[in-house]
Amino acid sequence: MRASKRSVRDRAVCAAVVLLAALAASLARASTVVAVPEPPQVPAGAFILLDHVTGTVLAEHDADVPRPPASLTKLMTAYLAFEALERGEMTLDEQVVVSKKAWRMGGSRMFIEVGNEVAVEDLLRGLIVQSGNDAAVALAERIAGSEEAFVALMNERAASLGMASTTFRNSTGLPAAGHVSTARDLAVLSRAILADFPEFRPLFAETEFTYNGIRQYNRNRLLRYDDSVDGLKTGYTSTAGYCVALTAERDGMRLVAVVLGAETAAARRAAGRALLDYGFETFETRRLFAKGEPIRAAKVWMGEVDSAPLGVAWDLHVTIPRGAYDALSAIVSFRDGLIAPLEAGAETGTLSVMLGGQLLSAAPVVVLEPVSLGDAWTRFKHMLLLRYGGDE
């Protein structure tokens, strides 16, 4: 039984080694890396386009310049609401009493009434689909007790996500001194929502929501014009201009685009669509190695087996120009001659993927299967070999 298991494992390792060799050889055959066309000229103050899985930036302009984010602020309000639901601190069918402050909010609204009870699920739709400022404040007060306390949570979460240039002053995105973010930070937040709360992604794709007898349509009109688009959020104020955070998936590749400061809703829509089309037409994302897939074997001393299969600690993806796959190379550096006992997941090296001399991605190489100590004779023999040199 053990020999059969080892045979299967060794064949998998050999197959992975062949793939590595093929990738390395292809680099030698490729004389030039595929040329990438220039990104489109986007009519906006700032923008960024990136791959959702790898985070690879495909196009950007003034992506680190702080700007008012308008209702893209509500992405953070939604994120914290999703966290509260995940932790069991509130439920979708829980009824929230509408405060006078929430009812009095100006700007876009879902038209909740003071003193009424509204389900959390309806508030989320009012927040995301209708961009209701009243829904944002009602959720903030339910989660933190007051909007002021909720804003502190927003800034704490922004810092933990790495949104270094973001400061929130309210839960809505209404103009306030010092209330700023960047295209890059908002892309980070968008990726976090998509990765951490996939079960709530359908909310961002809803095109309309009716509450209190009032039907309102999602202002993200690309949801109706482009079947690949399924989120996330639009925003507008006179100081911020027209803004949008978009996500779309085509042929298994998901992109995130953020556009800030467009002059009109039509310009915002055109900018977002141009960026997405450019990204999907110019780039592709591939998974080269899967977590748990054997790629090499390392010699093991003092163990019950002579070798241990190695693989990557997580799925390793790369985003590359279309047509550049044959120019990739994969390099595995690992520590051979491991000493038992070994735990599964023990780190022993690195797998790096290169394109034309540029590092695209890297992942730790880990032991895939635990290795126990061998019997007394094996340990004694290996101890002598290790001390005096030699091999079996």
Name, in order, each residue with C-beta under 8 angstroms of 284's C-beta and a sequence gap of 6 or more. 253, 319, 320, 321, 322, 325
Q: How many CB atoms lie within 10 A of CB 238?
A: 8
Please give the single-letter amino acid code of residue 114: V
C-alpha to C-alpha distance for 219 and 221, rounded to whole angstroms: 6
Residues 6+ apart with CB under 8 A from 136: 74, 77, 105, 127, 171, 172
CB 289 within 8 A of CB 260: no
* Residue of 108, 131, 329, 361 marked active site: 131
Whether residue 102 contacts residue 112, with contact meaning beta carbons closer than 8 Å, is answered with: yes
**Rg for the chain, CA atoms, rounded:** 26
Sheet strand arrangement including 338-339:
328-334, 347-355, 358-367, 307-312, 296-301, 338-339
- 381, two tokens: 């023999």
Query: Is-catalytic flag, 74?
Result: yes
Q: Are 16 and 296 in contact (CB under 8 A)?
A: yes
Say how far apart CA 81 and CA 119 lie, in whole Å.
13
What is the per-residue burial (b if ≥16 Cβ within 10 Å, else e) of 249-288?
ebeebbbbbbbbbbeeeebbbbbbbbbbebbbebbbbbeb
Determine the Cα–Cα distance for residues 43 and 272; give it in Å rounded to an integer. Answer: 10
- Cα–Cα distance between 168 and 162 in angstroms, integer? 14
Q: Which of 197, 192, 90 is nearest to 145 (CA)?
A: 90
Please, what sign has the CA dihedral across residues 54, 60, 66, 72? Answer: negative
Active-site residue (options: 4, 26, 31, 71): 71
Active site residue 71: yes
Pairing outcome for strands 328-334 and 347-355: antiparallel
Query: Taking a C-beta distance cutoff of 8 angstroms, is the pair 146, 169 a contact?
Result: no
Which of 74, 108, 171, 307 does the annotation list as catalytic? 74
The catalytic residues are 71, 74, 131
